[in-house]
Amino acid sequence: MFEATASRQGRRPRPRGIIYLARVTAASLVTSAALIAAPVVSIGSADQTIEPMILEQPVTADAATVRANFDLAAVVLDQDDIASEVEVRVRDEDGWGDWTALEVIAEDDGPDPATAEYARAQRATEPLLAPGSSEIEVRVSAGSTAEVVLIDGGTRGAQPASRASAAPSIVSRAGWGADESLRNCTPTRLAGYKAAVVHHTVTRNDYTTEEAPSLVRSIYAYHTKTLNWCDIGYQFLVDRYGTIYEGRYGSMAHAVQGAQSAGFNAQTFGVSILGTFTETQAPAPAMTSVDQVIQWQLGLDRVDPTGSTTFVSAGNTKHPEG
């Protein structure tokens, strides 16, 4: 049932007769009960590349604000800083917003240990997606210094294409304007996936359809230029309207290793929803698209969501290697 688009996407190879099984046992590992055809892909034109603007500026207790137009904000800490979160607030056309605690990215939420991507990684907070902002203030302890990173994802005329179809449409990297010069390696190709890891971002949930591609570009720039990861960490991203975006390079044609769940990146793929959903449920269009992209990817690897599997840890703070 996948043949129609497999020739276009380079259907990934898998061993004959081997069936991978997966079971959802944790909230972060998600699979779907049905399998559907591979999605139609929106390719986009190669001349739509948009280079994000990145500002990096130190802040202290006496100089805690930075002014610039940005869509994403984060704070980089010294490698030996033991802080677990940093409080920030941003200003937009409606004035200052509430203080938000940005958690420092845990080791378990990034590249696998013993990889080149892990060795390059910087200690920094989760990014705050705040499209249309013009100023940020950071709560910095007296005598301490941190670095604010502000990223403007830029604007574009064309909007992500969508199609009325039972199979999802996916906006390619060219379609959302990825600047391929930011990517510093070719992600490792895998034989397949056993399960999915679903994330959500730290952001306002009222962004527009026009702002969504800029948020994707901002995350991409943050992961590659600030965190020093190989590429954007997730294989796919979904906005609140249900638009699916290709994430890590090569994800449309192959199973590739991401940076969504340290210790298990070689066995899973990541989908991130643009928005904050700790206290509210993700919109139905977004959840439908997450379900569709998971069904497609697990279907390529013949995963039975009602079965079970064994995950072997590559090492993280909770599960030692092995």
137-to-63, 75, 128, 201 alpha-carbon distances in Å: 9, 11, 13, 20
CATH topology of domain 3-46+157-300: Lysozyme-like (3.40.80)
DSSP letters, 170-225, are: EE-TTTTT--GGG--SPPPEES--SEEEEEE-EE-S---TTTHHHHHHHHHHIIII
In 10 A of CB 239, how many CB atoms? 25
pLDDT surpasses 50 at 254: yes
- Its pTM stands at 0.72
Report the share of the chain in percent with pLDDT over 70.
76
Residue 269, beta-bridge partner list: 196
Mean pLDDT value across residues 16-44: 35
Question: Residue ranges of the domains in the chain?
Answer: 3-46+157-300, 53-152
CATH topology of domain 53-152: Jelly Rolls (2.60.120)
Pairwise CA distance, residues 148 & 73, whole Å: 7
Question: Tens digit of pLDDT for each residue in 159-172?
Answer: 444 443 334 689 99
Mean pLDDT score of the chain: 77
Mean pLDDT value across residues 125-142: 89
Domain pair 3-46+157-300 / 53-152, same fold: no
Tell me what pLDDT residue 192 has.
87
Question: Tens digit of pLDDT for each residue in 94-114?
Answer: 899 999 999 888 766 777 777
Tell me what pLDDT residue 73 has.
93
pLDDT surpasses 50 at 286: yes
Mean pLDDT value across residues 304-322: 69
Tell me what pLDDT residue 89 has.
94
Q: What is the DSSP letter of 107?
A: G
